[in-house]
């Protein structure tokens, strides 16, 4: 974990009862407690990542991606088991504390650079001779940038700019909806709205990871998705994000896959189920 966060230091530690009450109040305020989850009022226009099936992806973000040996590695393990016919490869470009405006996305697609070669199971080098380096660019802003009074417009601006850049290089832009801080559950609906609007404005697909976090917390508050700073994901949080990414991109249930990232089987199955149900709900007409 890197100490150079893009947000103030954590508030004094709260009791678990206080945290649970805050989540309940946030749900009740939306009229959703016990019925549904906080969600975007805006519905996603883009409901499929599109054809062909993505065989490669570039993850562009910050420490939320690189925690726990990187999100893309866990997604790759799920793909290997659940979709063995897809020879998927991925790379991650992350900067600690980064917002979208920190990234020079055009440079990530320069020839003979990122993704030029990869390593197989036996550590053999494979040179990737492809028409384009990546099929998808999965992008996430800093954890609170889309909601910040001074940075919200920057999120909108660079979501547009980076989407255009990604398309210029023949790839498809995807936005990764991040999650609320553990002690600020009201962020869930706000982030869902911001990312869904950005997806609609840029004709881009959105992965509803933040909504999956909220669903899991409602159903199983005993499964801790966060580390001590109440912001970064625990291994369970990363695994849930990976299952949601897999379910959203390929519209395929992860329930029953045996890759559990070292988590107990019962916990992994809960997170798999939450991911699949969240994706179905988010993209339902």
Tell me the per-residue pLDDT of 229-240, one tens digit each, with 9 for 90 and over.
Answer: 999 999 999 999
187 inside domain: yes
Name the pTM for this structure.
0.86
Domain that holds residue 276: 16-103+133-283
114 inside domain: no
Tell me how many domains the chain contains. Answer: 1
112 inside domain: no
249 inside domain: yes
Mean pLDDT of the chain: 88
242 inside domain: yes
185 inside domain: yes
The CA-atom distances, in angstroms, between 175 and each of 106, 125, 233, 244 are 17, 30, 18, 13
* Cis amide linkage into residue 52, ω under 30° from 0: yes
Both structure tokens of 186: 């009201």
The CATH number of the domain where 257 resides is what?
3.40.50.1110
pLDDT for residue 117:
85
Q: How far is CA 230 from the centre of its chain?
A: 17
Q: In the structure, what pLDDT confidence band is assigned to residue 15 with cuts at 50, 70 and 90?
A: very low
29 inside domain: yes
Give me the residues paired with residue 57 across strands. 90, 136
120 inside domain: no
* pLDDT of 6 over the 80 cut: no
Looking at 1-10, 65-74, 101-110, 230-239, which range is the least confident one? 1-10
């Amino acid at each position: 974990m890197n100490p150079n966060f893009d947000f103030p230091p954590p508030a004094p530690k709260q009791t678990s009862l206080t945290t649970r009450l805050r989540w309940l109040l946030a749900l009740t305020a939306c009229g959703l407690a016990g019925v549904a989850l906080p969600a975007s009022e805006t519905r996603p226009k883009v409901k499929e990542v599109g054809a062909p099936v993505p065989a490669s992806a570039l993850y562009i973000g910050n420490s939320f991606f690189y925690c726990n040996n990187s999100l893309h590695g866990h997604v790759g393990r799920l793909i290997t088991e659940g979709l063995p016919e897809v020879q998927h490869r991925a790379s991650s470009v992350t900067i600690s504390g980064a917002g979208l405006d920190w990234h020079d996305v055009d440079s990530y697609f320069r020839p003979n650079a990122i993704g030029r070669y990869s390593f197989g199971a036996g550590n053999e080098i494979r040179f990737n001779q492809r028409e384009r380096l990546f099929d998808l660019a999965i992008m996430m802003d800093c954890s609170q940038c889309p909601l910040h009074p001074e940075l919200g417009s920057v999120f909108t601006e660079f979501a547009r700019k980076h989407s255009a850049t990604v398309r210029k290089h023949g790839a498809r832009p995807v936005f990764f909806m991040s999650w609320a801080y553990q002690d600020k559950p009201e962020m869930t609906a706000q982030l869902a709205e911001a990312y869904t609007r950005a997806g609609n404005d840029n004709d881009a697909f959105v992965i509803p990871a933040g909504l999956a976090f909220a669903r899991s917390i409602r159903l199983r508050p005993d499964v801790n998705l966060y580390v001590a700073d109440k912001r970064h994901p625990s291994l369970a949080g990363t695994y849930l994000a990976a299952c949601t990414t897999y379910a959203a991109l390929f519209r395929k249930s992860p329930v029953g896959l045996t890759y559990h990232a070292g988590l107990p089987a019962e916990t992994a199955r809960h997170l798999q189920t939450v991911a699949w149900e969240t994706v179905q709900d988010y993209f339902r007409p």
